[in-house]
Structure 1
Amino acid sequence: MTSTGPDGRAGIDAALVKRLIAAQFPRWADLPVAPVAVDGWDNRTYRLGDDMTVRLPTAAGYVAAVAKENEWLPRLAPQLPVAIPQVLAAGIPGEGYPFPWSVRAWLPGETAVPERIADLPEFARSVAAFLLALQACDTTGGPAGGEHSWFRGCSPRHYADQVYRDLRNLAGHIDTARAAEVWQAALAADWRGRPVWFHGDIAPGNLLVVDGKLSAVIDFGTSGVGDPACDLVIAWTVFHGDSREAFRETVAQDESTWARARGWALWKAMLVLGGALDAGDRPQIEDNMRVIAEVLSDHARR
């Protein structure tokens, strides 16, 4: 286990990336290395020159995604309507860093925060069209949802213990009786469809926009083959009103899938809300309270 470095977790910093590149891909050794402006938790990403990035998992639990993405991203890319990461090289442990890593082509664009989106209903339709294209991809040999996907693509039942704990802890902060009803409806809506590809983390940080429109989808670390309900959570975290209806209409999922999606959204929002309350993080508290309220309201209308 490596120590925490100055720029991130697992001892990862720009100096380490420079050493890894020099040792394993010397043709790129003279290129500058710099942190990206917006980074993730599961992986650290560094800009390599103008046209590439280096992506390194921060802990052992995220390592399975490296080989999965290396194998499957090239297969999925030709079938999707917007760009996804292109893997250029596969790195191995070295220079004191214990995990496999990868070099990828740089994707232009900015993360899809609302102020960068020109037309939110149209953006919602574009995200839905991407999901439908992903679901139509050939699943032969694809990795079934499980530990590598943090159980996305499986039943939300896997997180039942967390949900029941959060329902107890959040009493007085949210309507726990209605939340429990939403959760039970999610568990009762058993998935009986054919397995399809899912992304597993359709969120603003993994959606890139250029000129206000969806241009790329990144971070397939939680992807796999199984139930696509987890990919619908963006309906409440980002979309609302006309944009939510545009997403719902375009993505065309059945009511059982939406019930499971509400379960996924409720699980994550309650989990984050609990931590935000402990930390006194007002923006996170307000945002996740809003998501929970909208999920409960959506359930009541169905």
Structure 2
Amino acid sequence: MEYFLTVPDKPAAEISIDIALIRGLLADQAVAMIPAATELPLRKVAEGWDSEVWRLGDQYAVRLPRRTLAAPLVLHEQAVLPGVAERLAPVGVRVPAPVVDGVAGDGYPWAWSVVPWIDGVPALAQPVAERGGWAATLARALSALHSDAPDDHPINPFRGVPLAARTGAVEERLRTLRAGGVLDGSSADALHALWQAGRAAAPWDRTPVWIHGDLHPGNLVSRDGDLAGIIDFGDVTAGDPAYDLAVAWLAFDAAGRERFMAAVGSRYDAHIWVRAHAWAAAVVLTLLAHSDDNPAYLALGRDAATEVLAKV
């Protein structure tokens, strides 16, 4: 089954991407690796803040930035994903490591990629109770991903950073959502307390590790009851893995979360889960504040808020 995915409140595209443009890029740059590239069916399947994704035949997808700020993200994916794919292969989880590292041309100003198509259902469309079936697989995949990163890793000022760096944004969203009646006072206070607890927890003081940087059910692909792939590494960076571990509350119910945390095991101390819980609260606020035009992500924000605020 295939879904056309969009994300909340996305900025306007700075360039018009159409079939003719993509066909020209493929003809000039892809046929050496994919001889039939110019003949395969081509259709748009996703449009996010940063990029569009067009499915190319049954096996591939074309990923193209839609605005200047997103252009470096494809370069980060081209540099990082081959290594990530190698580390996750023993787990059986695929990532969209580029098959073609495209460059600017034919009137298109930025780097772009042809990546493998990962068959399955977005976890966003899967009932939360069913996701627990692959909680342990995700934990193993993240353990493989979260390896020490080199000094020249891509920098992301918003993901994997100390919580204090994002306090202003978190508190502003809390005020806005409380004032607008989206959050009642007790929920807003509880989310703020979780954020404060995360700030008070011992910080990550080890070598920065690779992190996905945008790990939620919209970027996880399930197939036949297991995790098939992790997609959209545009925010890939290195830092505190607590940012990724927030997925325990974003993707799972209590039973799935227990399986996930048990599978992560004793690799980390208790402080990381306090920080991860705080990051989950921050993501909930972002989803609730910026998903008015996207029912699926608004529902994710509400469901995740229930999990974040659960007493168990």
Counterparts in 2 of 1:1-302, with a 5 A limit? 10-25=15-30, 27=35, 28-36=37-45, 38-80=46-88, 81=91, 82-113=93-124, 115=126, 119-135=130-146, 137-141=147-151, 143=153, 145-147=155-157, 151-171=158-178, 172=181, 173-174=183-184, 175=186, 176-189=188-201, 190-252=203-265, 253-276=268-291, 279=292, 287-298=300-311
Q: Secondary structure at the match of 1:239?
A: coil
Give the distance between the partners of 2:295 and 2:56, measured in 1 at CA.
Answer: 36
Name the residue aligned to 1:3: none
Cα separation, partners in 2 of 1:145 and 1:226, compared to 1, 3 Å: farther
Indicate if the aligned counterparts of 1:116 and 1:212 stay in contact, CA closer than 8 A: no
Give the distance between the partners of 1:280 and 1:72, measured in 2 at CA.
Answer: 32
Cα separation, partners in 2 of 1:25 and 1:241, compared to 1, 3 Å: closer
* Cα deviations by residue, 1:198-254 (Å, 9 ceiling, x for unpaired): 111222222222212112222211122211011122222221121111111112343
Indicate if the aligned counterparts of 1:31 and 1:49 stay in contact, CA closer than 8 A: yes
**In terms of mean alpha carbon deviation, does 23-32 or 281-290 score higher?**
281-290
Q: Secondary structure at the match of 1:216?
A: strand
TM-score normalised per structure 1: 0.83
Please provide the CA RMSD for this pair: 2.7
Give the distance between the partners of 2:293 and 2:97, measured in 1 at CA.
Answer: 40
Cα separation, partners in 2 of 1:284 and 1:31, compared to 1, 3 Å: closer
Give the distance between the partners of 2:190 and 2:126, measured in 1 at CA.
Answer: 32
* Cα deviations by residue, 1:32-52 (Å, 9 ceiling, x for unpaired): 32112x543321111223322
Indicate if the aligned counterparts of 1:144 and 1:226 stay in contact, CA closer than 8 A: no
Superposed displacement of residue 73, structure 1: 1.3
Cα separation, partners in 2 of 1:50 and 1:169, compared to 1, 3 Å: closer
**In terms of mean alpha carbon deviation, does 244-253 or 288-297 score higher?**
288-297
Cα separation, partners in 2 of 1:121 and 1:94, compared to 1, 3 Å: same
Superposed displacement of residue 286, structure 1: 5.4
Indicate if the aligned counterparts of 2:129 and 2:253 stay in contact, CA closer than 8 A: no
Indicate if the aligned counterparts of 1:124 and 1:244 stay in contact, CA closer than 8 A: yes
Aligned residues with identical type, % of pairs: 35
Which amino acid counterpart does residue 153 of structure 2 have in structure 1?
Answer: P
**In terms of mean alpha carbon deviation, does 24-33 or 192-201 score higher?**
24-33
**In terms of mean alpha carbon deviation, does 157-166 or 279-288 score higher?**
279-288
Superposed displacement of residue 106, structure 1: 2.4
* Cα deviations by residue, 1:42-99 (Å, 9 ceiling, x for unpaired): 2111122332211101212222221221122112222212221231212122233221
**In terms of mean alpha carbon deviation, does 243-252 or 86-95 score higher?**
86-95
Give the distance between the partners of 1:103 and 1:166, measured in 2 at CA.
Answer: 37
Q: Relative CO higher for 1 or 2, CA cutoff 8 Å, sep ≥ 6?
A: 2
Superposed displacement of residue 138, structure 1: 4.9
Q: Secondary structure at the match of 1:121?
A: helix
Cα separation, partners in 2 of 1:283 and 1:72, compared to 1, 3 Å: closer
Which amino acid counterpart does residue 85 of structure 2 have in structure 1?
Answer: A
